[in-house]
Amino acid sequence: MSNLWFLYLFFAALLVFIGLYCLLTMRNLIRLFIAVEIISKGVSLAIVATGAVKNNILLAQSLAITYIVVEVALVAAALALIINIYKKNRSLDVRLLSKLKG
Amino acid sequence: MVIQIILLCGLVIFSVLAILLKDLIKAALSLAVASLLLGIIFFRLAAPYAGVFEISVVAGLITVLFILTIALTKKGDEVTEARLVKLAFPVFLILFLVIDGLVMKSLLQKIPALPSGPETGTFGQVLWKQRTFDLVAQVGVILAGVLAVLALFRKKEEDRDE
């Protein structure tokens, strides 16, 4: 069982790494948000796999569902924000956001 | 075990494609396939409700939202990424794979797991009775999301009036 846990957490950490790499290096706002989604996949995989290995799958499922609902609300708000930023700047380049003034 | 490894490898491959593909529509579709594979993994881990949510909401709804946003921001593809980013990615990935493999196993042995007995009851009982506060918080988060979207789009309509 420990090997199985190791396998799932290994891949979950890999997903988080891929997402973090994209977040730190890329410039397109939509691509940055895809990276956030990949990180969230890694986290939900870790939650459900740990629940399955530790015989707490019902609790893990309810936590994963809560996580997915939060994720959807986040995506909806962030994509609306991205559309607004695009309308203002006519670009999705994240570097242009540093020129914003309050 | 073999099927699980294949599914996990597919999940990682499609996630990598989602960040490396230049066409954003293809990247969003790769993300949807990755979500689909994650949903199948959830089913195989005896978590059918989480699997259904993952496939219907993340692979379905979020992909639609992404594609809609990409369609509304047509010049989004024109953002140029640094060339070094894609070239350096395999190097960093292999480096992380080695570190992950070496560290994770010893790390798992050191993590203290809280003792817990075997679960009783059904999923519905756990979700509605044990995690009631989570459900209240979910309602709050959904309302916050809806209000945020409404506020952002109302601002646009005001701009049009001006």
The CATH label, of 3.30.565.10, 1.10.10.10, 1.10.10.2840, 1.10.287.3510, for the domain at A2-99 is 1.10.287.3510
Tens-place pLDDT, residues A51-95: 888 888 888 888 899 999 999 999 999 998 898 888 888 888 888
Q: How confident is the model at residue B100 (pLDDT cuts 50, 70, 90)?
A: confident
Strand, coil or helix: B45: coil
Strand, coil or helix: A28: strand
Window 13-72 of A: residues touching B by CB (8 A cutoff) are 13-15, 17-19, 21-22, 25-31, 33-35, 37-38, 41, 44-45, 48-49, 51-52, 54-66, 68-72
User: Which of B29, B100, B139 to mutate to test binding with chain A, by most A CBs within 10 Å of its CB?
Assistant: B100
The interaxial angle of helices B2-20 and A2-25, nearest 10 deg, is 0
Cα separation values, B116 from A20, A54, B120, B128, B134, Å:
33, 8, 12, 20, 20
Residues of A in contact with B155 (CB under 8 A): 84
Break chain A into its structural domains and give their ranges: 2-99
Q: Do B53 and A54 touch (CB under 8 A)?
A: no
Break chain B into its structural domains and give their ranges: 1-79, 122-162
Residue given tokens 């979910």 in the structure block: B138
Tens-place pLDDT, residues B1-31: 888 899 999 999 999 999 988 888 999 999 9
